[in-house]
Amino acid sequence: MSQEEEEEENEPATPIARLMQAPAFNFCIIAVMGFRSTIDLDLFKQELGRSLLRHARFTSVLIVDKSSRDKFSWRRTKVDIENHVFALDLDPNMESPDEFVEHFTSEIMKIPMVDMSARPAWEFHVLNVKTSEANSIVVLKMHHSIGDAVSLMSLLMTCAEKITTNCGGSLPILPSEKRQSTSSYYNTGRMVMKTMFVKVWIAIVMVFNTFTGLMRAFATLAFLKDEKIPINRERGKENSSKRFVHRIVDFDDIKLVKTAMNATVNDVGTGVVQAGLTRYLNIRYGQCCRGQNPTYAQMNNFLPKSLRLTSVVCFNLRPYAIIEDLSDIMEDEKQLRGKWGNKIGGALVPLDIVVEDDPLAYVIRAKAVMDQKKLSFEPQCMPIMSKLFIKLFGIKAASSILNRISLNTTLFLSNVMGPREEITPFGHPLCYIAPIVSGFSQVLFITFQSYANKFIISIAADENLVPNPHQLCDDMLQSLQDMKNYVQNRAL
């Protein structure tokens, strides 16, 4: 095969995938999956070969084009599944299995991914140990250039079946967005004029919100940064060791607050993060003992005035809310384009850290800010800005410039939508999935994952600046409980 024919067979990598080859953006998705049964290793590998190894991205290596070191291409290769699935020989009756899984996952996050030109950058670690939440654990690690969390969920659901006896091998049911019909607005001439006025006004608001959002982004690139607080860090300390923890709550609690506030799941999650961080930082500032007086922090405000942190919030830029079935196109690079990959954008969202008497005030503020971001092209502009920087300055310089946003902000928030029913990926019933990202420069990375009747909160925290991430999780859960109680009491 000539060099020209070989290059034609290669699939050019997207600018975002190329950017993630830079050291500052060497991100990996870590997905901790708890299963209801012990993992049958032979069955697990068999199902991987039947499903995952049909996927073009999981059977490709990323190579550097000879013409330019800033250009990368995907090249199909043979995959030996034994080099990607690792089963640890563990004592099933070990002490503190939950702590072991957290420690193992945290250590996996610290290890950089192998050279992506040598073999496809993904691996599974099978832990046949019973925890408080599952009978076995599988940790998936894949390089972020392969795809984002939405792509990962589509992959799991394509490789899965519903746990029902009457539906056989059908695909799982996914959440859908309810869209209100607008036909009634066109019944009369008056409503047509009103609709046109509303559309013009929305366009003006979107232009204004986009402008202010981009100005804040450029200011963050240049000089604007979060003030120093107990969980913040000095600039320049990138990719420090992170500790992984997670909590599972009842999704109905989230839905209860969501319905009461006429909000979205993302609004409630962002409000819970604000409330949890407020509670956590108030304790850190007050340096009081929780065990002796648990209500002390609620009765006193030790926070500095006008304390505000900045979060990078992830937005799914796909034109559809429902993840499509990829089973028929997994092997075709061209058909996967647009449906698989990193189709995400980001927006800078300010989080006010203020002690509130009304726990729902955090959701109200979060909803107001998120509504503003939805009426904005800021999430769409962020990838465009990244591609422009890559084209103008090259991968190395562009990554250094864009990484300043990570260095000047404190946390990253992501909300991943999962199936409404439990599924059986790789031949085993899935109990929960807790995804997180490694390799980032922020102090905190927080992910919300919905799955069946569960809502999983995952946190990756800087070990030096947030030495007790479990307490931060507990504070977030307590904040959600306060919101739930407030809604129920108000309804009475």
Active site residues: 144
The answer to whether 391 and 228 are in contact (CB under 8 A) is: no
**Distance between CA atoms of 359 and 363, rounded to whole angstroms?**
8
DSSP code for 292? T
Extended beta strands in 225-335, E state? 242-250, 308-316
Give how far the C-alpha of residue 394 lies from the chain's centroid of Cα atoms, to the nearest Å.
27
DSSP code for 330? T
Measure the CA angle with vertex 412, ends 406 and 418; round to 5°.
145
The answer to whether 475 and 274 are in contact (CB under 8 A) is: no
What are the distances in angstroms from CA 96 to CA 93, 100, 107, 466? 9, 6, 17, 22
Encode 380-434 in three state secondary structure: HHHHHHHHHHHHHHHHHHHHHHHHHHHHHCCEEEEEECCCCCCECHHHCCEEEEE
On the CB side of 72, CA atoms within 13 Å amount to 22
Give how far the C-alpha of residue 15 lies from the chain's centroid of Cα atoms, to the nearest Å.
20
Phi, psi of 284 (to 5 degrees): -60, -40
Give how far the C-alpha of residue 430 lies from the chain's centroid of Cα atoms, to the nearest Å.
19
Nearest to residue 447, comparing CAs of 412, 409, 414, 471? 414
Reported as type and span, the H/E element at residue 16 is helix 15-19
Helices (H) then strands (E): counts for the chain: 13, 14
**Distance between CA atoms of 200 and 140, rounded to whole angstroms?**
47
Q: Which amino acid is at 399?
A: S
On the CB side of 58, CA atoms within 13 Å amount to 25
* End-to-end Cα separation, the chain, in angstroms: 75
Q: Which two tokens stand for residue 465?
A: 């600046």
Sign of CA dihedral 324, 326, 328, 333: positive
Q: Where are the alpha helices (DSSP H) in 223-303?
A: 251-261, 265-286, 296-299
Q: Which amino acid is at 355?
A: V
The answer to whether 39 and 128 are in contact (CB under 8 A) is: yes
